[in-house]
Amino acid sequence: MTDDDRGVAGAVLAGGASRRMGVDKAVLEVDGRPLAMGALEALQAAHLSPVILVGGADGLSEAIGHEVIPDAWPGEGPLGGILTALSALDEDGRRPVVVLACDLPDASAATVAELLDHGIDAPDSVVLPVLDGVPQWLHALWPAGARTSLAASFEAGERAPWRAGRKLSVVEVCVSDERSLRDADRPEDLRGRNTTGRGPTGCPD
């Protein structure tokens, strides 16, 4: 199976308050480009299609130059964003979706491809990379049909992706480039990089 035959879609979560960063992480310029572009381009370079952004401040589509769909549950945390992505991309329950947070300055197509490779052997499982022993639920391959279980958990009041996701089969994997999993929650996480911020809202904290 080639990359182009995978039939997997991708989404970048761009909603949330970005309280710890203090500026809109999605359009925060890091090394000359909006931070969300790293995750977006990693999904595209891994041959996922279509790829969308979910949530974010007004004007995000113009700033990024890419399609943005509104978060169906703004203010309800990343699980709502994941559900919005799956509702848009896996409506018929037959398409896996890779969902990344937008605050991954070193997001990598190679890491996305590793998740997809593991997904071939576990098509009914959530595939999660592990960083420092912690599963990365905002860097996950969600199997086709995952929306049904997640929606039931959400409707029951659950808002944590890891608790809702644990109701599905889960495969945790080590990836070659752990740096690609490290997010930027605070200004100090971007120390040593050129940054220019704007706006009050952004990615999942």
The answer as to whether 190 is a domain residue is yes
Residue 201 pLDDT: 37
- CATH code at 154? 3.90.550.10
Residues 10-32 pLDDT 10s: 999 997 545 444 455 776 777 77
The answer as to whether 110 is a domain residue is yes
Average pLDDT score over residue span 154-175 = 98
* Average pLDDT score, the chain: 86
Average pLDDT score over residue span 127-155 = 98
Structure tokens at 70: 């509104």
Residue 21 pLDDT: 47
Neighbours of 129 (CB within 10 A): 24
Say if residues 102 and 25 touch (Cβ distance below 8 Å). Answer: yes
The answer as to whether 164 is a domain residue is yes
Helices (H) and strands (E) in the chain, counts: 6, 11
| Sequence-separated (6 or more) residues with CB below 8 Å from residue 59 | none
The answer as to whether 183 is a domain residue is yes
Say if residues 175 and 129 touch (Cβ distance below 8 Å). Answer: yes
Residues 171-191 pLDDT 10s: 999 999 999 999 987 766 665
Is the whole model's pTM more than 0.75, yes or no?
yes
The answer as to whether 202 is a domain residue is no
Strands 195-196 and 68-69 turn out to be: unpaired
As a whole number of angstroms, the distance between CA 26 and CA 13 comes to: 9
Residues 77-124 pLDDT 10s: 999 999 999 999 999 999 999 999 999 999 999 999 999 999 999 999
The answer as to whether 137 is a domain residue is yes
Please give the C-alpha separations between residue 30 and each of 58, 66, 110, 117, 175, in angstroms, as whole numbers: 20, 18, 21, 30, 24
Residue 20 pLDDT: 47
Number of domains forming the structure of the chain = 1
| Domain containing residue 139 | 8-194
The answer as to whether 120 is a domain residue is yes
Decide if pLDDT at 197 tops 90.
no
Residue 4 pLDDT: 45
The answer as to whether 46 is a domain residue is yes
Helix, strand, coil percentages, rounded to 5, for the chain = 30, 20, 50
